[in-house]
Protein backbone atom coordinates (compact mmCIF):
# COMPACT_ATOMS: atom_id res chain seq x y z
CA UNK A 1 0.00 0.00 0.00
CA UNK A 2 1.04 3.59 -0.65
CA UNK A 3 0.14 6.28 1.88
CA UNK A 4 -0.29 9.96 1.00
CA UNK A 5 -0.07 12.14 4.12
CA UNK A 6 -1.59 15.63 4.17
CA UNK A 7 0.75 17.50 1.82
CA UNK A 8 0.79 14.86 -0.93
CA UNK A 9 -2.93 14.13 -0.52
CA UNK A 10 -3.86 17.81 -0.81
CA UNK A 11 -1.56 18.27 -3.83
CA UNK A 12 -3.22 15.26 -5.47
CA UNK A 13 -6.75 16.52 -4.77
CA UNK A 14 -5.92 20.04 -5.94
CA UNK A 15 -4.57 18.62 -9.20
CA UNK A 16 -7.94 16.92 -9.71
CA UNK A 17 -10.11 19.98 -9.22
CA UNK A 18 -10.72 20.28 -5.47
CA UNK A 19 -10.25 23.59 -3.65
CA UNK A 20 -7.59 23.45 -0.94
CA UNK A 21 -7.11 25.93 1.88
CA UNK A 22 -4.31 28.44 1.27
CA UNK A 23 -1.07 26.86 2.47
CA UNK A 24 2.72 26.87 2.24
CA UNK A 25 5.17 24.07 3.00
CA UNK A 26 8.42 24.98 4.74
CA UNK A 27 11.37 22.76 5.54
CA UNK A 28 13.71 25.33 7.07
CA UNK A 29 13.36 28.14 9.59
CA UNK A 30 14.84 30.58 7.09
CA UNK A 31 11.86 30.02 4.75
CA UNK A 32 9.19 31.09 7.22
CA UNK A 33 9.35 34.84 6.69
CA UNK A 34 8.81 34.55 2.93
CA UNK A 35 6.21 31.82 3.40
CA UNK A 36 4.09 34.10 5.59
CA UNK A 37 3.85 36.77 2.87
CA UNK A 38 0.24 36.90 1.72
CA UNK A 39 -1.15 35.36 4.91
CA UNK A 40 -3.13 37.23 7.53
CA UNK A 41 -2.52 36.36 11.16
CA UNK A 42 -3.58 34.25 12.93
CA UNK A 43 -2.36 31.22 10.98
CA UNK A 44 -2.32 27.48 11.59
CA UNK A 45 0.88 25.42 11.62
CA UNK A 46 0.97 21.62 11.26
CA UNK A 47 3.71 19.05 11.37
CA UNK A 48 4.27 17.34 8.01
CA UNK A 49 5.78 13.90 7.48
CA UNK A 50 5.32 11.06 5.04
CA UNK A 51 4.24 8.65 7.78
CA UNK A 52 2.54 11.04 10.21
CA UNK A 53 -1.20 10.29 10.35
CA UNK A 54 -2.72 11.57 13.59
CA UNK A 55 -1.11 14.98 14.00
CA UNK A 56 -3.36 16.14 16.84
CA UNK A 57 -2.36 13.14 18.99
CA UNK A 58 1.27 14.21 18.60
CA UNK A 59 0.53 17.84 19.50
CA UNK A 60 1.36 18.50 15.87
CA UNK A 61 -1.30 21.15 15.15
CA UNK A 62 -0.84 24.72 16.38
CA UNK A 63 -3.79 27.09 16.05
CA UNK A 64 -4.05 30.85 16.43
CA UNK A 65 -0.43 31.79 15.72
CA UNK A 66 -0.46 35.59 15.77
CA UNK A 67 3.13 36.76 15.16
CA UNK A 68 6.23 35.95 13.15
CA UNK A 69 8.24 35.24 16.34
CA UNK A 70 5.53 32.85 17.53
CA UNK A 71 5.67 31.09 14.15
CA UNK A 72 9.44 30.63 14.51
CA UNK A 73 9.00 29.19 18.00
CA UNK A 74 6.27 26.74 16.96
CA UNK A 75 8.22 25.68 13.88
CA UNK A 76 11.10 24.52 16.07
CA UNK A 77 8.74 22.53 18.29
CA UNK A 78 6.91 20.91 15.39
CA UNK A 79 10.11 19.91 13.62
CA UNK A 80 11.18 17.94 16.72
CA UNK A 81 8.25 15.54 16.32
CA UNK A 82 9.42 12.13 15.20
CA UNK A 83 9.02 11.65 11.46
CA UNK A 84 8.68 15.37 10.69
CA UNK A 85 10.17 16.57 7.41
CA UNK A 86 8.66 20.04 7.40
CA UNK A 87 5.74 22.21 8.47
CA UNK A 88 2.56 23.31 6.70
CA UNK A 89 1.46 26.91 7.26
CA UNK A 90 -2.26 27.31 6.59
CA UNK A 91 -4.78 30.09 6.47
CA UNK A 92 -7.04 30.14 9.52
CA UNK A 93 -10.67 29.72 8.41
CA UNK A 94 -13.97 29.63 10.25
CA UNK A 95 -17.13 28.09 8.91
CA UNK A 96 -19.20 24.93 8.94
CA UNK A 97 -16.90 21.90 9.21
CA UNK A 98 -17.74 18.73 7.30
CA UNK A 99 -15.91 15.60 6.23
CA UNK A 100 -15.89 13.31 3.20
CA UNK A 101 -14.67 9.73 3.29
CA UNK A 102 -14.20 6.81 0.93
CA UNK A 103 -13.71 3.24 2.13
CA UNK A 104 -13.31 0.11 0.04
CA UNK A 105 -15.45 -2.65 1.54
CA UNK A 106 -14.66 -6.28 0.58
CA UNK A 107 -18.40 -7.08 0.28
CA UNK A 108 -19.95 -3.92 -1.17
CA UNK A 109 -17.09 -2.22 -2.97
CA UNK A 110 -16.72 1.50 -2.44
CA UNK A 111 -18.66 3.29 0.30
CA UNK A 112 -18.81 7.09 0.49
CA UNK A 113 -19.28 8.89 3.82
CA UNK A 114 -20.42 12.39 4.73
CA UNK A 115 -20.91 14.11 8.06
CA UNK A 116 -19.85 16.67 10.64
CA UNK A 117 -16.10 17.28 10.48
CA UNK A 118 -13.46 18.53 12.89
CA UNK A 119 -11.32 17.03 15.62
CA UNK A 120 -14.31 15.41 17.33
CA UNK A 121 -15.52 13.57 14.24
CA UNK A 122 -15.31 10.09 15.79
CA UNK A 123 -17.41 11.06 18.79
CA UNK A 124 -20.02 13.16 16.99
CA UNK A 125 -21.41 10.13 15.11
CA UNK A 126 -23.13 12.54 12.72
CA UNK A 127 -22.46 10.53 9.57
CA UNK A 128 -24.33 9.00 6.65
CA UNK A 129 -23.02 6.66 3.96
CA UNK A 130 -23.95 5.05 0.67
CA UNK A 131 -22.54 2.37 -1.61
CA UNK A 132 -21.25 3.66 -4.97
CA UNK A 133 -22.26 4.39 -7.68
CA UNK A 134 -24.50 7.32 -6.77
CA UNK A 135 -26.44 10.01 -8.59
CA UNK A 136 -27.09 13.56 -7.41
CA UNK A 137 -30.49 12.78 -5.88
CA UNK A 138 -29.02 9.93 -3.82
CA UNK A 139 -26.20 12.19 -2.65
CA UNK A 140 -28.66 14.90 -1.59
CA UNK A 141 -30.69 12.37 0.41
CA UNK A 142 -27.53 11.13 2.13
CA UNK A 143 -26.36 14.64 3.04
CA UNK A 144 -29.77 15.60 4.46
CA UNK A 145 -29.73 12.58 6.77
CA UNK A 146 -27.04 14.33 8.86
CA UNK A 147 -27.44 17.17 11.34
CA UNK A 148 -24.81 19.25 9.56
CA UNK A 149 -26.45 18.56 6.19
CA UNK A 150 -29.77 19.93 7.45
CA UNK A 151 -28.03 23.21 8.38
CA UNK A 152 -26.57 23.84 4.93
CA UNK A 153 -28.01 26.67 2.89
CA UNK A 154 -29.19 25.95 -0.65
CA UNK A 155 -25.94 27.19 -2.18
CA UNK A 156 -23.84 25.30 0.38
CA UNK A 157 -25.79 22.12 -0.30
CA UNK A 158 -25.19 22.53 -4.03
CA UNK A 159 -21.45 22.96 -3.41
CA UNK A 160 -21.31 19.85 -1.22
CA UNK A 161 -23.20 17.80 -3.81
CA UNK A 162 -20.87 18.90 -6.61
CA UNK A 163 -17.80 17.96 -4.55
CA UNK A 164 -19.22 14.57 -3.61
CA UNK A 165 -20.00 13.86 -7.28
CA UNK A 166 -16.44 14.90 -8.11
CA UNK A 167 -15.20 12.48 -5.44
CA UNK A 168 -17.23 9.67 -7.01
CA UNK A 169 -15.62 10.49 -10.35
CA UNK A 170 -12.17 10.39 -8.75
CA UNK A 171 -12.79 6.82 -7.59
CA UNK A 172 -13.76 5.81 -11.12
CA UNK A 173 -10.56 7.35 -12.44
CA UNK A 174 -8.34 5.89 -9.69
CA UNK A 175 -9.75 2.48 -8.68
CA UNK A 176 -6.53 1.81 -6.76
CA UNK A 177 -7.68 4.24 -4.04
CA UNK A 178 -8.37 2.06 -1.01
CA UNK A 179 -9.24 4.73 1.55
CA UNK A 180 -9.62 8.50 1.46
CA UNK A 181 -10.32 10.86 4.35
CA UNK A 182 -10.93 14.58 3.93
CA UNK A 183 -11.44 16.28 7.30
CA UNK A 184 -12.17 19.04 7.84
CA UNK A 185 -13.65 20.81 4.86
CA UNK A 186 -14.66 24.38 5.67
CA UNK A 187 -17.83 25.70 4.07
CA UNK A 188 -17.55 29.47 3.81
CA UNK A 189 -19.10 32.08 1.51
CA UNK A 190 -20.76 29.40 -0.64
CA UNK A 191 -17.40 27.74 -1.26
CA UNK A 192 -15.59 24.80 0.33
CA UNK A 193 -11.93 24.43 1.22
CA UNK A 194 -10.14 21.21 2.16
CA UNK A 195 -8.00 21.74 5.26
CA UNK A 196 -6.67 18.20 5.77
CA UNK A 197 -6.67 14.93 3.87
CA UNK A 198 -5.03 11.53 3.60
CA UNK A 199 -5.21 8.82 0.94
CA UNK A 200 -4.26 5.15 0.89
CA UNK A 201 -3.61 3.47 -2.47
CA UNK A 202 -3.28 -0.28 -3.14
Gap between the Cα atoms of 171 and 30, Å rounded:
39
**Could you tell me where in the chain the CATH 3.30.470.20 domains are found?**
96-201
- What kind and span of H or E run contains 80? none
| CATH, domain range 22-91 | 3.30.1490.20
pLDDT in tens, 112-149: 999 999 987 777 789 999 999 999 999 999 999 999 99
pTM over 0.75: yes
Q: For the domain 96-201, what is the CATH code?
A: 3.30.470.20
- How many whole angstroms separate alpha carbon 2 and alpha carbon 201? 5
Which class for 66: exposed (0-12), middle (13-18), buried (19 or more C-beta within 10 A)? exposed
pLDDT of residue 128: 97
Model pLDDT for residues 57-79, shown as the tens digit of each residue: 899 999 999 999 999 999 999 99
pLDDT value at residue 61: 96
> What 3-state class would DSSP assign to 133?
coil
- Listed in order, the ranges of the chain carrying CATH 3.30.1490.20 are 22-91
Beta-carbon contacts of 1 under 8 Å, excluding residues fewer than 6 positions away, are 178, 200, 201, 202
Amino acid sequence: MVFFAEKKAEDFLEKHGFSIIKRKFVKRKSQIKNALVGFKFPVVMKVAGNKIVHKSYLNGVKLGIKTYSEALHEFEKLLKIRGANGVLIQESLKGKEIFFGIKKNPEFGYVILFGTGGTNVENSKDVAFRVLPLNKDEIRTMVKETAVGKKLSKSELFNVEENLLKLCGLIEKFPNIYELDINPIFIKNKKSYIADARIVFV
